[in-house]
Amino acid sequence: MNLRSVDLNLLVVLDALLDEAHVSRAADRLGLSQPATSSALDRCRHLFDDALLERGKGMMRLTPKAESLRVPIKNLLAQITLVLDPPDIDLATIHQTVRILTADLPAVAIIGPLRERLARSAPGIDLVIQPWHGTEDSLDKLAKGAVDLAVAVFPKTDVSFRRVDLLHEHYVVMMRKDHPAAKDFTLDRWLEFPHVIVSGQGHRYSPLDEELAKIGRERRVGIVVPSFLMVPPLVENSDMIAMTPSLCVPADSMGFALFEPPIPVEGFTLHLAWHVRRDEDRAVQHVGGIIRELLQSPV
């Protein structure tokens, strides 16, 4: 292929088309007319010798070739931007939206202080917080540029991603302060009352149940909820007991009794992750740096 014949603006249009899978939405995003965007799509089809977008049932869908192009094109455009338009190092002048993917647990701990620090250091940076739907989904969104940062538990990732440790979290048993089991908390008393489980998928069984089964014990799951935010009010107003990460305990915990789990329970390491193309993104790295400060040395 003769690179001199390739219009790089086509790649900008194609990036939007692959994200939106819709000609009109891509046109709006780029500030182009629909005919101009349709014409660019036709030229991209000729360039890559592929339909790229095909009509499905009531919507457009990406061809396998188009799916394979999404990440490479985003990487290429990011590198071109760094060469032609390096980021402004003056945080006070940056106007950018940073998208963070995280579960509600770390979000509750950091979102207020994060917003306050950004208001002082980089007031032009806006935040979009997106929900966590599992590790695979998170890495896919980072790769495709749908999010900029992710705060979650990640396995060791490949060279396309950065991953740093934020903190090692441990579990605590939480119940209301005047709970009947609070006076003489033991394994038997713990299992005597119904438990609260947090599961986004509605699962009633967790690794804790596996550990209990090893010693011939089991517990009753009284309720399964999708969010850690729902745990404190449930525990505070019932005889139910929850085992939660310590970050889930309200800052004002005077109304709760807290105990170490009566059997060994392994904690977990919380990570901050991003795609390598965001290494030189000043706004993203500034937000990531604040998150690291907040969770590595909680305020």
Residue by residue, what is the 3-state secondary structure of the chain?
CCHHHCCHHHHHHHHHHHHHCCHHHHHHHHCCCHHHHHHHHHHHHHHHCCCCEEECCCCEEECHHHHHHHHHHHHHHHHHHHHHCCCCCCHHHCCEEEEEEECHHHHHHHHHHHHHHHHHHCCCEEEEEEECCCHHHHHHHHHHCCCCEEEECCCCCCCCEEEEEEEEECEEEEEECCCHHHCCCCHHHHHHCCEEEECCCCCCCCHHHHHHHHCCCCCCEEEEECCHHHHHHHHHCCCCEEEEEHHHCCCCCCCEEEECCCCCCCCEEEEEEEEHHHCCCHHHHHHHHHHHHHHHCCC
Contact criterion met (CB below 8 Å) for 284 and 148: yes
CATH for 32? 1.10.10.10
Q: Which two tokens stand for residue 254?
A: 């005077």
Q: Count Cβ atoms within 10 A of the Cβ of residue 240 and give its class: 0-12 exposed, 13-18 middle, 19 or more buried.
A: buried
> Can you tell me the distance from the alpha carbon of 230 to that of 204, in angstroms, rounded to the nearest whole number?
16
Confidence of residue 256 (pLDDT cuts 50, 70, 90): very high
Confidence of residue 157 (pLDDT cuts 50, 70, 90): confident
What is the number of structural domains in the chain? 3
Let me know whether 79 and 136 are in one domain.
Answer: no
Domain that holds residue 260: 171-265
Same-domain pairing of 164 and 274:
yes
Residue 241 pLDDT more than 50? Answer: yes
Q: What is the pLDDT of residue 87?
A: 57
Q: Over 70: is that where the pLDDT of 89 sits?
A: no
* 61 shares its domain with 113: no
At 5 the pLDDT is 60
Predicted confidence (pLDDT) per residue in 8-67, tens digit: 788 888 889 888 888 889 998 888 898 889 998 898 898 888 998 988 776 788 899 988
- End-to-end Cα, the chain, rounded Å: 55
Name the burial class of residue 10, with classes exposed (0-12), middle (13-18) and buried (19+) by CB atoms within 10 angstroms of its CB. Answer: middle
- The residue among 120, 117, 155 whose CA lies nearest residue 139 is 155
Same domain, 57 and 103: no
Considering the domain architecture, whether residues 285 and 142 belong to the same structural domain is answered as: yes
Residues 241, 122, single domain; the answer is: no
- pLDDT of residue 159 exceeding 60, the answer is yes
Residues 205 and 164 in one domain: no
d(CA 62, CA 44): 13
Residues 194 and 279 in one domain: no
**Same domain, yes or no: 162 and 280:** yes
- The closest alpha carbon to 97, from 277, 285, 283, 275, belongs to 283
